Structure 1
Amino acid sequence: MPRRFLQRYMPHPDTLRRQRSLRFMGHLIGNPALWVLSRRSVANAFSVGLFSAMLPIPFQMVVAAFGAWLARCNLPLSVGLVWITNPLTMPIIFYGNYRLGAWLMDTPAREAPERLSTRWIAEQMADILPALAVGSVVTAVLLAILGNVVIRLLWRWQVSRSWKQRARRRRRRRGRETP
């Protein structure tokens, strides 16, 4: 069952509440509704987490936590999925978002220089930002919808598969019990 798989890797709420750096969020972390592992809460957590991950903003984890609270979905999954855009993947993902935004806005995309520097990015930010924002929001919405649908389908498939396996085991047991 997907629930058992996810529970193996999720931290316990008490462990997080005891951490000094997270004490100010104790009321949020302690809310049992944000730790439920159901098909709806996990699918919505994927939506919130993927949406937050695609936004080119600082404090994506805070946005994901707030989104999980608003959507009443699984908090650890929402916050954990933000790490899809980690320091290694962020340039690639946001460059792709920028290219998508430039294509949607029908503006020519700027090519990256041979030596990428923060100075070049700062100089080009005014030109890059609108296309990056549009591309990021479009990507965020599409991934949120896709993630939600895929998780719901995978969950349903897994439950259906486990029901069939249980039915097979019961039939085998009945066949052995009757002489």
Structure 2
Amino acid sequence: MPRRLLQRYLPHPDALRRRRSLRFISHLIGNPSLWVLTRRSVANAFSVGLFSALLPIPFQMLVAAFGAWLLRCNLPLSIGLVWITNPLTLPLIFFGNYRLGAWLLDMPVRQAPNRISTQWIAEQLVDILPALALGSLVAAVIIATLANLAIRLVWRWQVSRSWRERTRRRRRPRKATPEE
């Protein structure tokens, strides 16, 4: 079942509550509804985490944590999924979001120079920001919705497969034991 797989990799809430760096939010971490692994809580956690990851904002993990608290979905999954936009993948994802936004706004896509510098980025930011913001928002909504639906379907498929397997095992004739 997906629940067992996820429980194997998720941290335990008591271990996180004992950490000194997280003591100021220990009352939130201890909320049991943020640690439940159900089809709804996992699917919503994927939505919140991926939505937060695709936004070009600082403190994406805080946004994901607030979203998990607001929707009562799985907190560690929401926060962990934000790391899809890590330093290696961030430029590719945001460039794709920018291209999507430029296409939606019917703007020409700016070409990057041979040598990208912070000065070039600062000069181009005013022109790039509307397309990046729109593209990121559209991509975040689409990806979050698709992820939610996919997780719900996969979870349902796994549960129904487990039920069928259990029914098949029960119908199988038992071997006679020597005591009988």
Q: How does 1:11-26 map to 2 (within 5 A)?
A: 11-26=11-26
- Count of matched residue pairs: 178
What is the rounded CA distance, in whole Å, between the counterparts of 2:88 and 2:75 in structure 1?
A: 24
What is the rounded CA distance, in whole Å, between the counterparts of 1:62 and 1:151 in structure 2?
A: 23
Richer in helix (by share): 1
Measure how far apart 1:175 and its partner are: 4.4
Q: Which residue identity is paired with 2:67?
A: G
Q: Does structure 1 residue 138 correspond to structure 2 residue 129?
A: no
Q: How does 1:60-71 map to 2 (within 5 A)?
A: 60-71=60-71
Structure 1 partner of 2:153? 153
Measure how far apart 1:140 and its partner are: 0.3
Measure how far apart 1:176 and its partner are: 3.0
Structure 2 partner of 1:129? 129
Cα deviation, 1:44-77, whole Å, max 9, x if unaligned, reads: 0000000000000110000000000000000000
CA-atom RMSD in angstroms: 1.3
Q: How does 1:112-123 map to 2 (within 5 A)?
A: 112-123=112-123
What is the rounded CA distance, in whole Å, between the counterparts of 2:144 and 2:118 in structure 1?
A: 30
Identity %: 76
Structure 2 partner of 1:176? 175
Measure how far apart 1:115 and its partner are: 1.2
- Displaced runs of 4 or more, over 6 A: none
Q: Normalized against structure 1, the TM-score is what?
A: 0.96
Q: Secondary structure at the match of 2:48?
A: helix
Structure 1 partner of 2:42? 42
Q: Normalized against structure 2, the TM-score is what?
A: 0.96
Structure 1 partner of 2:165? 165
Q: Which residue identity is paired with 2:35?
A: W
Cα deviation, 1:64-105, whole Å, max 9, x if unaligned, reads: 000000000000000000000000000000000000000000
Cα deviation, 1:121-142, whole Å, max 9, x if unaligned, reads: 1110000000000000000000
